[in-house]
Amino acid sequence: MASLSSSSSSSIFLALTLMLISCSSATSRLPSSRRSALIDLLPQRSGVGFRLTLHHVDSGKNLTKIQKIQRGMGRGFRRLHRLRAAVLAAEDDGANVEAPTHAGNGEFLMKLSAGTPPVTYSAIVDTGSDLIWTQCKPCTKCFDQPTPIFDPEKSSSFSKLGCSSDPCKALPQSNCNKDTCEYLYTYGDYSSTQGILAMETFTFEDEHSVSGLAFGCGEDNEGDGFAQGSGLVGLGRGPLSLVSQLKQNEFSYCLTSIEDSDSTSLLFIGSDASNTLNKSMGGEIQTTSLLRNPAQPSFYYLPLQGITVGSKRLDIEESTFTLSDDGTGGMIIDSGTTLTYLEDSAFRAVKKEFASRVRLPTDDSGATGLDLCFKLPENTKQIPVPKLIFHFRGADLELPGENYMIADPSTGVLCLAMGGSNGMSIFGNIQQQNLLVLHDLHKETVSFIPTECNKL
């Protein structure tokens, strides 16, 4: 793994040893009355604390470094369009109309069990959506999954939810069939899940069982966005997400380096999230506020105010990252998107500054698909790269070099792990690796703490 050392100048040093640096890389829109009604209905779950293991979707696949880059970028680009589609659908439908378009997909999987007796399956973890769902028998149209399809008739704790139930009212799109709540979740790439809304007992890490969680029992599931798992666990801000249903004020995650995608990352919920702070590296905590977008209340928006490259605060209008009244623009933090995407004018400014400060010839081969790459000299052990600081409201987050520069010795390139976006900006998971990212939903803040995630 690459080692980094800070210097007093405007550069940090990227050690080009061994493998160097690598990259692999639904939101319901609900009236506030519906959100509060569901949360009040759910039982209090005080003292709940989970430590959950996350696996990267490409772990164990024996991929080369460039393959990880290309696969992660492909997923991230599709996800970017899904997220933008969700916001644009809300804008087009007007301020008081629900928009049944969601993010979906992601980069990390977790194992959990559903039912009594419990049946284990893997699910995509998604901070950009809410609904918990898995494929269920009888499957009229289902994608191939690595584990057996859940059979609700074999679970003694399974119960269908009625049309008048608050979880059903919280759905962005539902139908009533003999007082059974039927749902439809449609994703930006035309993938979808359709079935019945039910309540079930879920077991996490084979030891933590929670009863009465609302979830989607999908009987008609289409598209290729979910092939890595058997369903999805939403961690968004909406009432149907896992965090909301557990009634926990805090959750955090710690993503290991993409360089070692076979290492497991971690998700902490409830009391385990705050307790993990004591196990971090003790680096300086950077805390900023979370913004709310009434058009898409499930997304976690960050108040980005500026960017520094090297010693220069870039000349970017602060309004570039402003969340507009119509719900467009702004920056979300998203664990399911690989690269960071910046609004095009801001990305051009970042790209130009890096190009002027990295003293290497540019590589125009396009082999990686990234926008800015440099040719690595042979037999080089260290390359100076400019500092990168994201200025959030109340927090100046300086990233380590491996969180924004990707070196690939096999192709001889060093690349900036960012891209441009027409509108919405996304703070991706490459930039979040080896940081403990703590969401405090009561204070509506997010904190970044330097942490060796593989040592927690």
Rounded Cα distance between 150 and 192, Å, is 18
Weakest mean pLDDT among 2-11, 192-201, 312-321, 424-433: 2-11
Cβ atoms of 73 and 338 closer than 8 Å: yes
For the stretch 62-71, pLDDT in tens is 776 667 767 7
Q: What is the mean pLDDT of residues 76-84?
A: 68
Rounded Cα distance between 285 and 188, Å, is 35
Q: What pLDDT, on the 0 to 100 scale, is given for residue 189?
A: 57
The tokens describing 317, both together, are: 């209008």
Phi, psi for residue 58 in degrees, rounded to 5: -100, 10
- Where in 156-314 does DSSP place strands (E)? 159-160, 174-177, 180-187, 192-204, 208-222, 231-234, 250-254, 265-270, 286-289, 301-302, 304-309, 312-313
Cβ atoms of 101 and 186 closer than 8 Å: yes
Residue 382: what residue type? Q
Weakest mean pLDDT among 153-167, 256-270, 304-318: 256-270
For the stretch 355-386, pLDDT in tens is 999 999 999 988 888 999 999 988 777 888 99
% of the chain exceeding 70 in pLDDT:
79
Q: What pLDDT, on the 0 to 100 scale, is given for residue 268?
A: 96
For the stretch 82-117, pLDDT in tens is 666 666 665 555 444 343 444 556 789 999 999 999
| Burial category of 314 from C-beta neighbours within 10 Å (exposed 0-12, middle 13-18, buried 19 and up) | middle
Question: Is pLDDT above 50 for 146?
Answer: yes
Q: Pick the catalytic residue: 126, 130, 166, 272?
A: 126
Cβ atoms of 361 and 95 closer than 8 Å: no
334 catalytic? Reply is yes
444 sits in the region (left: phi over 0; alpha: psi -120 to 50; else beta) called left
Q: Which residues, including other chains, have CB under 8 Å from residue 283's CB and lie 6 or more apart?
A: 449, 450, 451
Q: What pLDDT, on the 0 to 100 scale, is given for residue 84?
A: 67
For the domain made up of 32-267, the CATH class stated in words is mainly beta
Residue 150: what residue type? F
Rounded Cα distance between 321 and 424, Å, is 8
Q: Hey, where are the domains in the chain?
A: 4-24+283-455, 32-267
Phi, psi for residue 435 in degrees, rounded to 5: -125, 135
Question: Is pLDDT above 60 for 393?
Answer: yes
Alpha carbon 349 to its chain's center: 25
Q: Pick the catalytic residue: 58, 334, 363, 408?
A: 334
Superfamily of domain 4-24+283-455: Acid Proteases (2.40.70.10)
Q: What pLDDT, on the 0 to 100 scale, is given for residue 331?
A: 95
396 catalytic? Reply is no
For the stretch 245-293, pLDDT in tens is 999 999 999 999 877 767 899 999 998 998 887 776 667 899 999 999 9
Mean pLDDT of the chain: 82
For the stretch 14-39, pLDDT in tens is 444 333 333 333 333 233 333 333 33
- Assess whether the previous peptide bond of 117 is cis (omega < 30° from 0): yes
| Burial category of 32 from C-beta neighbours within 10 Å (exposed 0-12, middle 13-18, buried 19 and up) | exposed
Residues present in the chain in total:
456
Identical fold between 4-24+283-455 and 32-267: yes
What pairing do the DSSP bridges indicate for beta strands 425-427 and 265-270? unpaired
Q: Of 430, 400, 435, 456, which is closest to residue 285 (Cα–Cα)?
A: 435
Residue 1: what residue type? M
Rounded Cα distance between 132 and 241, Å, is 7
| Burial category of 157 from C-beta neighbours within 10 Å (exposed 0-12, middle 13-18, buried 19 and up) | middle
Q: What pLDDT, on the 0 to 100 scale, is given for residue 456?
A: 87
Q: What is the pTM of this model?
A: 0.86
